[in-house]
Structure formats: structure tokens, C-alpha cells
Chain A
């Protein structure tokens, strides 16, 4: 891996993910050490946990890159079932864990994770399988459209019930984009918005804080000490950083001004400490990852591989784009982590598995080519 050549997409893919991960480790430490000293008396408290997850993720990554991706096609229904079981665990007393008014976490022994993360992966596998099987009949409403909507729809509904609007919406977008790429008629897809609107209204009404978030998003400065506090603090962080940043570890905003600084709002800290240069670098790495993923998509020999690669690429890129848009106030707050960078176990592991599968698709394709 000493020299990178154009066309070595796998290296671009792996290196971009690795670069983002390394930035993540540095930034998670820089962001969390003061909070860690304060809360736990150990400045390495968060970074230790982060690296533990990263190690698990690395093992999974290596494993995923070795397992032939075609096996997921064959195991699509067991995978779906497993995902269903995981997400239902949330509602099982003793496993489900409520944090911040929402049931999003499951405790399994010492591990705590968000089932919505593996669900995303399962939905991508299912869609890739389903879209690649339909081929000719993809334009058909009953064969091409309905199954690709109903099965993910069940999961989306379950996630919506947690409630986790952010993940539900990004998963919906993921389904739309994959279906679109798979050739499902655009008018069917657009038609989905008709039933989606009342559902959204219902969910938002049931959880008033979501509406509040939405309104605050329009003008966070209006209530900069209340509901808009987090957004305003994020803006201040970006603004304080300027072009070159205040220097690694020197940021002020993470000192409790910016809640969730080491998870959802880690890009704000990057913006403050490393400036536009740091933020630009992060974006560049995501673009490299995106282009590499699309390249693998296009070079995949079979349709399942194509859709799977596309789905995984979109899954990561979507979350990255949405998270960045949120912390800069382009989208209302969602509660999504920044792939590879944020502190957050389940998300990091799932994303590393995604890179492993992408790599395997590339390898299989290269083997066939030679």
C-alpha cells in the first residue's frame, strides 16, 4: 500500500475510511478528555471505549472482506429475521434501554448498541437481493415496487416508534435512492410521499420536541439559550475556527458549551480546532470514499453486487452528508453520528463492516477480471 495508483479503488476506499477513522480517534480524544476527567476522573475514559469498538470493528472489517458477499444474498431472510429480533429487543424489558426519552439502545451483557444500525445493513442487503432478482419486472408495481417498500417499511416503522426520526428518514431516503437506481418507476417512489406526510405529522405531533427542533432549526438564534443552544454553540464553534482553526485540543466550545461534542457534533469541534481546512479535508475523504464506492458499484459483475455496493456507499455517504448538514444548520437536528469519526460503537462497527463488504465486492470482481 505504499503507492497509490489511479484505479486502485480498494486502496482509496480503505485509506479514506482509515483517514477518517484516525481523525476520529484524535478528535474524540481532544473532545472528550475534559468531560472524561470531570465525569470519570480518567481522561482516556471515552477514547479507551472508542478504541475497543474500533478493534471489534477492525476484526469485523477483515472478516467481511474475506466472506464472499454472495452469501448475503442466500442468507437474506435469516438476516432480516435477525434484524427484526434485534430491533424488537428494544421493547423487551431488561434489554431495552431508554435514554433521553427514546428507546434506542439494547443491552446485551456488557455491550450496548443501537439495533437501528444493523437494521440499516440488513435493509441494504435485502434491497440489493430484491432489486437484483426482479430484473425485468422491476417496473411492475406489485413485483418491483411493493416488496421493496413494505419490508423496509416495517423496519422504518419500528425505528420510528423508538422514536428515532433521523434514522427512519435516512433509511427511507436510502430505500428511495436504491429503488431509484434499481429502476423502480419514479412516480411510484414519489407517490410514497403522499402517505408519508400524515405519518410524519402524526409522529411529530406525538413527540412535540421534534416540532420544536424543526422550528428552532429555522432560526436557532431566536432561542440561543434554550432550544437553539446546541445549534448556536455549533455555529460559534465553526466560526471560532476560521480557516485554520484554533489548534488541536485548544477548542473552547467542547467544554460543555456544545452538548454531544464527541458524538453527533464532533464536526463542530473539528471546525473549531482545525478550521475550514480540517472540515474540507473531512469532506474530501468522504468524496473519495463515495467515488470509490460508486466505482466498485459500476465494476461489480453481478447485479446483487452492484446494488449491494451502491447501497453500502449510499448508506455511509448519506449519514455523513446529513450529519454535516445538521451541525451546520442546513437540516433540522437528527441525532446521527458522523461515520468513522464520531464516538459511537454500533455505528462505527457497522460502517467498518460496510467497508469490508465493499472491499470484498471489489476483490471478487478483480479476481474474475484476471
Chain B
């Protein structure tokens, strides 16, 4: 019995040993937990965060770019990107071999990327796979496909210099893609967490944070058809004349909207990497040149406005040779006495100089400045040049004269087109713009551009006089007869400028910038067009090489827009989009005054304008039909009295 009890005591001791053993074991476990969770917590946390955050930046689908009629100019399409998780791959060699023919990479290249030591690698990004290929990849372990969006330009080279392009990281590098990148790319969200170890998106918790915000779409003022017409006319002129390049801009003079903007040679946007970066610039905006004779238009406009000359005043043009200070000025055609109108018509340098003499430096400078020389137009495209207009204090003895025929001053195509617009529209310098609207993915208008009047440069009467003189240019005996379009009055001006020789000073012998600018129909212009050709080889006079390009762009565009020789607009175009009519609205449309609690007068407004007006009031607008507002309910000026929405009918 005693022995049994003794044994029981020994048992007790041994059981306590077991208990102690486990207490120690659990204590050690707790101490280890303390070490991991308190002492090393910070460094482990940082490591963990790195692996989670590394793969959670969400890129939104880039917004599309449309022309004014909602034709696609740049879109984002879904493509496949193949990734791998090397740790899950059994045989890198076998996998690389299997993958190589599908994605078109060398097996050795794939193996190299698989061996980079990272947990997640892109094997090939942005490729087009068909269903069978996708299924093959899906069956492989450790490899997967994600949808990414890639930029695609459905018209390849159309408006290339204007649209620009994006890099592989989906950032706009040039053109609209660059200047509107923040809108187009949408919000790129970084969230802490959200992708699992396989790199897949995990939605959990507050999903509102995870849903990517789609990029906004940009609607341009560009008309795809006019853009096409412009580009092909420009290109064929380059082919014909052997010019190094050329530019053309088409504006709506009433509003400042850019309808077309071409730089030649262009490039294929879908393959931009294969072309020289030299070609990527939008030279209508980035490059300036000495305008030559087209500048005479601004001299005459200023002199008329100041009342210094009248259209019929005559000047002696020295029979083609006029000594000023240390220089002798020449005319292409030797003329005696010429009226102001004929100075424009025959493009007399000496005549222009004499008008400038009458104006004096300050006045001439003031008018050139007012027309926008030496100042950026503020068009929202990257890299705009301001051109150059020498400060009046720095003018030498002959500057006044040379500037009057466009030497010693330089401007970009867009500057000259904008300036000419002021003559076309009755005296207003309009700020040019190329983006009509920016819309969010949900269709909400985020940004809308409207016509902006910079200033009145000349009176309507002066504008009319200058216009009449410019019509003479394309009339019989003028320098720009090749720009004439049968049935239409065309106001225009030729320009032929020798290119400055930057190495030796002075001007180069056989290098010209040949240009033509004008507007049609002269009475009630819809289009302002400027064409420049850089160093044409076969012929170099603006009236000879550039005027036909103008004619082609203008006549085709007028036909397309349905503008009749009488100046009427074809109804279908206007009705369809309300767009062509808007080309003529803008300036001259009445200002709509808003009185709280009363319905404003919508009649005669475009839908866009009506919408804008309604946004300023405390009511909604219900728009019926299309075109211009003809009727509304409640009527103009009627009290709203609790009415929440105003109905407006358009025709």
C-alpha cells in the first residue's frame, strides 16, 4: 500500500514535469509572438506593405477623343497583357518554350524575364490574342492574362500632329493627348491593398475606393472631313511642288473654333515610334516664320482704322525700286501710282511701305500687336510659339518698311489665321480653341469652351473695306487668282517670303515660305484658311503654289458644309448637329440676361448656348429637337413661379 502511494507521488511529480514542459513551450511561443509583433513589427509591416502596395495602382481607361460630330479620332481598346508569377512555375524552361510561339517572343527572352527574381513580372504587354491563344495561356500554371487598354487611332495619320500620342504608360506625350492628359487619363488611383498574391484585383470592403474612374472624353472643334480635305490638299501640293513641308489651318472666324489643323508630312499615330521625332511637332502652332506679303493686310487695316488712308487714296510705287536708308526695296511688278486697294491686289512692297510711313512706328506696332503678333494665342496645345515682334524702341531705320511687307516679324500659322479671322468676322480678335467639351464617363460636361473675344481690333466698316480689297486679290489681275472659286467671292492675300539665313544673316536666295490666307464666302465668312508651303521647288510665289491649296480646301469644305454661293447653309448639316450654324454664331449673338425667378429668352440660341444659360439659372432645361431655339415655355421673361424646368424647342 505504501509502495503504491509512493508510486502515485512519483507519478504526480512526473505529471508536473509534463505540465512544466508545456508551460515553458507555450511561454516560448508567446515570447516569439512578442518578438515578431512588437520588436520586429515595424520592419515586417513595411515589408508586407511593399508587397501589397506594389501592385495596386489602378489605371483608368483613357478617355476617347472625338471630332465635332462625334467621330472617333482616338480611342482606347482592350488588349491582353501576359504576366507571370515565377514562384508558381515548375519548369521555367518548358513554360518559356510553350509561351514563345503564342506571344511572339523568343523562349530565351521569356526565361530571362521569369528569372528576374521578382514575384510578379510582365511577360508581354498589350498584345492581341485570340480565344484559342487565351485558353492556352490560361491553362498554364503561373501565367495569366489581364486586360489593359491601349490607345488606338482609327484614322492612322489623320490629325496626327494635332492629336499627339501616348507612351506605353498611357501618358500623353504630344498634342491634345498631352495638353488634355489630366482629363483623358482620368484618376489613377493608388490604394493600399486590393490585389492578391496572384495579382488579381480583389474587391472587398469599401469597393467605392477601388473602382477606377474612367478617363474623360474630349470633343474637339475639329471636323474630321474638313481635316481630311485639308491634309490631302496639303499633301498633294507638297508632292507637286517638292516642298519640304507645309501647314494649313482652317478656323471658324465667328467663333475661333479650329476646324482643321494640318502639318505635312504627318505620321501614323499607331506607329509613331518608327518616325522621326522631327515630324511629331504641330508646326502650325510651334513654328513661326516671316509671313511676307500677307502682313500687308494688317498694315492697311490699321491705316484705314486710323483714318490715315482711304481705299481709293493713291500712292506712288516708284516703278518698283525705292531707296530707304541703306536699302533698296523692290516690287515683283513695277508699278507707278496705285490705290490702296491695288497695293493689296498687286501686293506692292513699296506701296505698303509708304502706307506704313504714314502710320509711323508706334501706330504700326500697336496694330500688329492688336492683331496678336508677338503674343501666343493661348490655344490649348503644347509648345505654342509667340512668334516675334520686335519692340518698337529697337526698330532700326528700315524696320518700319520691312515689317509692312512681312519681313523682320514672324508668326505661326495659327496666329496669322486668328488675326485674319478678325477681318473676316467684322473686327473681333477671337481666341482660337480646339476643344469644345470635356465629358466625364457619365456624360457630365466637365469643361466646355465657348467663343472668347480677346478684343476688337478694327471697326466693322474697316473690316468690310479690307475684305473688299482682299476680294480683289482673287479677282482678275490679282496675285491670288488661283484661289478663286467660281460662284463665291473669295477674300485672300498671297505671301512669298524669303527665308532668313540664320548662318550668314540676310536672306537665303532660293528658299521661300509661300503662303496664302483668306476667307469664304467673303460676304458672310464660314471659313478662314491659311496655307503655307515650306521651300517649294517648282514655283515659289504664294499665289502660284499656295493659292490652289486654299482653293481645294475651301471649295471641298464649302460643298461638304452645304454652303451655297449665295451664302446659305445647307439645312441638313445645320440640323444634324447644330454645328455649321454655330460656325456663324458666337459673335453677334445676343447676351442673355438672367433675372432670378423669370424665364430667360432662349430664342435664337444654339442648344449649347441654351444649356449654358440654363446652368446659370436655378432651373433645368428640357430641349426638344435640334438646331436653334424657336419657342419656349414658359415664354421669355415670364415668371417661373415654381416651374422647375423650361422647355425649349429647337429647329
Contacts and interface: CB of A to CB of B under 8 A. Distances in A.
A181 B47 contact: no
B7 to A, nearest CB: 7
Contacts of B117: 225
B265 to A, nearest CB: 50
Contacts of B118: 225
Q: Interface majority SS on A: helix, strand, loop or mixed? A: helix
Given A241-B37, A243-B38, A328-B36, A321 B29 contact: yes
A286 B48 contact: no
Given A321-B22, A325-B28, A238 B87 contact: no
Given A225-B119, A275-B37, A276-B37, A239 B48 contact: yes
A242 B14 contact: no
Nearest to A245: B37
A257 B196 contact: yes
- Indicate the member of A226, A271, A279 with the most B CB atoms within 10 Å: A279
A89 interface: no
Interface in B32-65: 32-34, 36-38, 40-45, 47-49, 51-52
B197 A242 contact: no
A34 B47 CA distance: 23
Interface in A270-296: 271, 275-276, 279-280, 283, 286-287, 290-291, 294
Given A180-B14, A225-B119, A253-B48, A242 B37 contact: yes
Interface in B428-468: none
A237 B32 CA distance: 14
Interface string A290-330: 11001001100000001000100010011001001100111
B26 A283 contact: yes
B121 to A, nearest CB: 11
B204 interface: yes
B19 interface: yes
B26 A286 contact: yes
A279 B38 CA distance: 12
Contact of A294 (B19, B37, B40): B19
Contact of A279 (B17, B19, B33): B33
B147 interface: no
Contact of A325 (B12, B25, B202): B25
Contact of A328 (B17, B33, B87): B33
Nearest to A324: B29
A240 B45 contact: yes
B193 interface: yes
A13 to B, nearest CB: 15
Interface string A224-245: 0110010000011111111100
A324 B205 CA distance: 29
Interface in A90-104: none
Contacts of A286: 26
A325 B29 contact: yes
B204 A290 contact: no
A329 to B, nearest CB: 8
B29 A271 contact: no
A317 B22 contact: yes
A301 to B, nearest CB: 11
A328 B25 CA distance: 13
B337 interface: no
Contacts of B33: 238, 271, 276, 279-280, 283, 328
B17 to A, nearest CB: 8
Interface of A: 34, 135, 177, 180-183, 225-226, 229, 235-243, 250, 252-253, 255-257, 271, 275-276, 279-280, 283, 286-287, 290-291, 294, 297-298, 306, 310, 314, 317-318, 321, 324-325, 328-330
Q: Closest 4 interchain pairs by CB?
A: A239-B44, A256-B197, A255-B196, A236-B48
Interface of B: 7, 10-12, 14-19, 21-23, 25-26, 28-30, 32-34, 36-38, 40-45, 47-49, 51-52, 86-87, 117-119, 193, 196-198, 202, 204-205
Given A255-B197, A283-B29, A283-B30, 5 more contacts: A181-B18, A237-B48, A240-B48, A241-B37, A328-B36
